Copies of this chain bind each other. A is one copy, B any other.
Amino acid sequence: MLVVGELINGMYSNIGAAIRERNKEAVQKCALEQIACGAEALDVNCGPASRQPLLDMPWLVETIQEVTDKTLCLDSSKPAVIEEGLKVSRNKTIINSTTADADKLDILVPLANKYKSRLIGITINAKGIPQNKDQRLELAVSIVSACQEKGFPVENLYLDPIVLPVNVAQPQMRDILESISEFKIISEPGAKTIIGLSNVSQGTIFRSLVNRTFLTMAVAYGLDSAILDPKDKELIDTLITAELILNKNIYCDSYLEAYRKK
């Protein structure tokens, strides 16, 4: 499971301030803390309040890669902002994200090819959020097809079924989980799957409990990657245990510690 740390995001006040003040130390500390907790990649998002994202994104990338060579997940709804990050990145990258809209795919798939980046494809389009499993699958197929047409290797594509908050979209939770296993068999070789986990608990009281319970189920359905808060120790303990149960790590009495050392 590729764990992508979500905490370098301008919507968090400490990172928002660090971006405005060009405070490298605060961003680098946040990067290293997440890696120490088990993150193997870092999401990088200037945040909605950024007034100069075309400058903020490359500054963040350069700041982070001074202290780590972990994969950077360049997160923006604006392709131009993502490209400014790609231009300066020496680390491996993941583009976060394209939708299933043709105009987005026409820009972002070639961008992923040009910079040899992996790519997240969210099963959403201009019509809005899918309301069921079939709509998710249809959007996923169109993303996979676009990648195949444009010569992008599908095994470097991460399909995201778009996780909704359980308190507003309870009837869709099972569809979202089942989409994870369905997405993987659209093509051969198959695309990978990813979720933005924290959204499932947005607005709920027991956020960590909801997050780790949903993540466990998603792992059972074959999830390959999640963007999450790696500093939530109980969440990571649960994730390690879920992967243990599915025989992805070998059991030993100190398996939690052993996994973290790895």
Contact = CB atoms under 8 A, between A and B. Distances in A.
Contacts of A171: 247
The copy count of this chain in the complex is 2
Interface string A62-75: 00000000000000
Size category of the binding interface on chain A:
20 to 34
Interface in A210-248: 210, 213-214, 216-217, 219-221, 237-238, 241-242, 244-247
B256 A206 contact: yes
* Dominant secondary structure at the A interface: helix
A214 to B, nearest CB: 6
A14 interface: no
A217 B238 contact: no
Contacts of A174: 246-247
Given A206-B237, A213-B238, A217-B242, 14 more contacts: A170-B244, A170-B245, A170-B250, A171-B247, A173-B245, A200-B245, A204-B253, A205-B253, A209-B237, A213-B216, A216-B216, A216-B217, A217-B220, A217-B245
A258 B213 CA distance: 18
Interface in A132-179: 166-167, 170-171, 173-174, 177
Contacts of A217: 216-217, 219-220, 242, 245
B214 A245 contact: yes
